[in-house]
Each structure stands twice: as C-alpha cells, then as structure tokens.
Amino acid sequence: MKRKWFFGPAVLVLILALAGCGKTVEEQINTGVANAQTVFEENAQEPNKTIGDIELYLPSGYNVEKSDDVNNLIVTKGKDSFILFVNSNEKEDSNLHYELLKNDKSKKIVKEETVEFDGAFGFTAVVEYDEERFELIASCGGVKISTISEDKNIDGKLVDMMTIVRSVKLVEEADQTN
C-alpha cells in the first residue's frame, strides 16, 4: 500500500519536470535550421498534390487554398498559414531569394544557413518579425515558403517547410524528365 502512495506522486513530479523541459526559442531555431539543412540534402519527397502546373509534396495536415495566382499559393496547417512562392524563371541553383533577404537592411536575421547540394542552392532563415513572432523562411532555387510564427514548434515548421520547397516541380519539367 505504501508503494502506491509513493508511485503516484513520483509519476506526477516526473510529468511536471518533463513538461517544464520544453525547448527554448533559440534551441528550436538552431534545431530547426540544422534539420532543414539535412532535409535539403536528402532525396526530395515525391509530389502528392498538383495545383495548376505545380506538383508538390504536402506533409500530413497541410492543405493548399484555392488561388488565382499560380505563383503564390497559400498553404495551411491548422491555424498556421504559409505563402509558397514559385518563380518558374529561376532554376534550382538560383540564390535570388537569399540575396533579396540579405540585401534587405530592414530585416533582423536571427539565424540563416545556406546549403548547396547536387546543383541546387537553398537556405533556411529565421527573421525577427516583432517581439513575440518570427518570420520563418525556407527556399530552394526559385521556390520559397514563409510564415509568421510565434515561439511554438519553430523547429518542426522549418523541417516541413523545407520538405515542401524541395519537392516542388513544374509539370513541364516533370514531363521532360520522364
């Protein structure tokens, strides 16, 4: 009987201790950027969605809203919205989006990393949006996705964002490779 009384409070203390061990914003940013770079260097996911001339992979729970502008798509997951921009004039090795970010002196970049792999250029960046929110950016060549995020699940969002941009193919390109 005494063991039951000891076991219950011990489990409660363990649960409370684990709940208090959430990652700091800095840890989420560092982990997210590092993991997004790893995703960039892996084989791209096969597309599971086609919108106009764009094929892309959307992780579970993500949806694309209808849009008249096929170059700017709104991707959602729950309450989060992401803007996916596809510039069909830029190739996989383009660093246009990165140069635009770096040259915008109004942006306060918290962390950014570039990566080149198999002829493709990409980057991940976290930019301070305001005191409580961050702009998260993932890009591969002419494809960029961004969102405004509070300090929750930054690491997971960056990985999903890089997974999405790495998977984007234009239908014309996909037809030529077959």
- In this prediction, residue 16 has a pLDDT band, given cuts at 50, 70 and 90, of very low
pLDDT for 52-69, tens place per residue?
Answer: 889 999 999 999 987 778
Buried b (16+ CB within 10 A) or exposed e, 122-137: bbbbbbebeeeebbbb
User: Is the model more confident about 178 or about 123?
Assistant: 123
- 126 domain-assigned: yes
User: Is the model more confident about 173 or about 9?
Assistant: 173
Burial class from Cβ neighbours inside 10 Å (0-12, 13-18, 19+) for residue 46 reads: exposed
- 6 domain-assigned: no
pLDDT at 176 over 80: no
For residue 135, what are its two tokens? 């702009």
The pLDDT of residue 152 is 83
CA separation for the pair 102, 109 (Å, rounded):
9
The pLDDT of residue 173 is 53
Mean pLDDT of 102-116: 94
Cβ–Cβ < 8 Å for 134, 154: yes
- 78 domain-assigned: yes
Lowest mean pLDDT among 23-32, 151-160, 168-177: 168-177
The pLDDT of residue 52 is 86
- 110 domain-assigned: yes
Cβ–Cβ < 8 Å for 149, 134: yes
pLDDT for 67-105, tens place per residue?
Answer: 778 789 999 999 999 999 999 899 999 999 999 999 999
Q: How many domains does the chain have?
A: 1
- 9 domain-assigned: no
141: domain CATH number is: 2.60.120.1690
From the list 144, 23, 148, the residue with the least C-alpha distance to 79 is 148
- 115 domain-assigned: yes
- 7 domain-assigned: no
The pLDDT of residue 23 is 86
- Say how far residue 96 (Cα) sits from the centre of its chain: 18
- 161 domain-assigned: yes
The pLDDT of residue 15 is 39
pLDDT for 117-163, tens place per residue?
Answer: 999 999 999 999 998 899 999 999 999 999 999 878 999 999 999 99
Q: How many CA atoms lie within 13 A of 79 on its CB side?
A: 4
- Give the domain range for residue 134: 23-177
